[in-house]
Amino acid sequence: MQQFFNSLYTSGIGLFYDRKSPMYGLYKAEIFNTTGFYTLLTALALVVVFYYIFNHAIPALTHQGLYKPTHWLLVLLLVAGLGALLAYQVSMGQGAVRDPYMRYFIITNTLVAPLWFILFSVVLKWGSNHARRTPF
Amino acid sequence: MHTALTKALLIGALGSTLLSSCGEVDDTKATADTAAAPTKPAASTTKSDAAAPLQANLFLELSGGMRGFMPANTTATEPTAFQQRVSLLASRTNSSPAVADTKFWLSLNKAPQASTYAHFREIVQGDTHEAALGTELPTMLENILTLPQAANKVNVVVSDFIYGPKNQATSALMNVNITDALATVTKKGLAVAVLGETSKFYGTYHPAVKTPLKQRLLKGETLPYYIWVIGPPAAVGRYLNEVLPAPAATTQQAYFGLTFPRVPYAAVLTQVPASNSLAPGGDGSISYGGAGISTNLEVDDVKKGVDFTVALDLRQLPAAWREPAFLARNLQAQVPNGTVKLLPNSIKPTTGVPELQAYTHTLRLHLSDFPKAGGQLSLTLPAPGIPDWVAQRSTENDNQPAATPHTYRLTEIMNGVREAFPQTMPPVFTVTFALSQ
Q: Which residues of chain A make contact with B28, given a CB cutoff of 8 A?
A: 2, 28-29
Per-residue pLDDT at B40? 39
Residue B371 lies in domain = 262-382
Chain B: nearest CA to A82, how far in angstroms? 22
Whether B110 and B227 map to the same domain: the answer is yes
Residue A24 to residue B287, Cβ atoms within 8 A: yes
Q: Which residues of chain B make contact with A23, given a CB cutoff of 8 A?
A: 270, 287
Query: Can you list the residues of chain B whose pLDDT is less than 50?
Result: 1-49
pLDDT tens column, B160-206: 988 877 777 777 788 898 999 999 899 999 999 999 999 999 999 98
Find, in chain A, the residue whose alpha carbon is nearest to that of B295: A25
Find, in chain A, the residue whose alpha carbon is nearest to that of B35: A25
**pLDDT of A34 over the 70 cut:** yes
Whether B252 and B286 map to the same domain: the answer is no
- CB distance B376 to B336 below 8 Å: yes
pLDDT tens column, B275-331: 888 888 888 889 888 778 888 898 888 888 899 999 999 998 998 899 999 999 999
Q: Is residue B21 part of a domain?
A: no
Q: Is residue B40 part of a domain?
A: no
Q: Is residue B362 part of a domain?
A: yes
B395/B393 Cα distance (integer angstroms): 7
Per-residue pLDDT at B15? 40
Question: How far is Cα of residue B257 from the mean position of the Cα atoms in its chain?
Answer: 9
Annotated domain spans of chain A: 2-127
Whether B287 and B181 map to the same domain: the answer is no
φ, ψ for residue B167, nearest 5 deg: -85, 100
Chain B: nearest CA to A114, how far in angstroms? 16
Per-residue pLDDT at B37? 39
Residues 6+ apart with CB under 8 A from B108: B62, B63, B130, B132, B135
Q: Which residues of chain B make contact with A29, given a CB cutoff of 8 A?
A: 28, 31-32, 290-291
A45/B80 Cα distance (integer angstroms): 87
A25 part of contact set with chain B, CB < 8 Å: yes
Whether B192 and B82 map to the same domain: the answer is yes
**Number of domains into which chain B is organized:** 2
Per-residue pLDDT at B169? 73
pTM, full prediction = 0.77
Whether B360 and B306 map to the same domain: the answer is yes
What's the Cα-to-Cα distance from B317 to each of B278, B320, B403, rounded to whole Å? Answer: 23, 8, 32
Find, in chain B, the residue whose alpha carbon is nearest to that of A40: B14
Asked which of B382, B411, B428 is the last residue of a domain, the reply is B382
Per-residue pLDDT at A96? 87
Whether B137 and B215 map to the same domain: the answer is yes
Q: Which residues of chain B make contact with A57, given a CB cutoff of 8 A?
A: none
Residue A19 to residue B6, Cβ atoms within 8 A: no
User: How many of the other CB atoms lie within 10 Å of CB of B211?
Assistant: 8
ipTM: 0.74
Q: Is residue B330 part of a domain?
A: yes
Q: Is residue B14 part of a domain?
A: no
Q: Which residues of chain A make contact with B296, given a CB cutoff of 8 A?
A: 25
Whether B80 and B135 map to the same domain: the answer is yes
B252/B182 Cα distance (integer angstroms): 21
Whether B340 and B239 map to the same domain: the answer is no
Angle at B338 between CA B332 and CA B340, to 5 degrees: 40
Q: Which among A1, A25, A119 is the nearest to B290, CB-wise?
A: A25
Whether B297 and B230 map to the same domain: the answer is no
Whether B243 and B390 map to the same domain: the answer is yes
Whether B57 and B201 map to the same domain: the answer is yes
User: How many of the other CB atoms lie within 10 Å of CB of B75?
Assistant: 4
Chain B: nearest CA to A64, how far in angstroms? 24
Residue A26 to residue B6, Cβ atoms within 8 A: no
Per-residue pLDDT at A25? 87
Whether B371 and B310 map to the same domain: the answer is yes
A3 part of contact set with chain B, CB < 8 Å: yes
User: How many of the other CB atoms lie within 10 Å of CB of B132?
Assistant: 15
Q: Is residue B117 part of a domain?
A: yes
pLDDT tens column, A65-97: 788 889 999 999 999 999 999 999 999 998 888
Q: Which among B6, B21, B291 is the nearest to A1, CB-wise?
A: B21
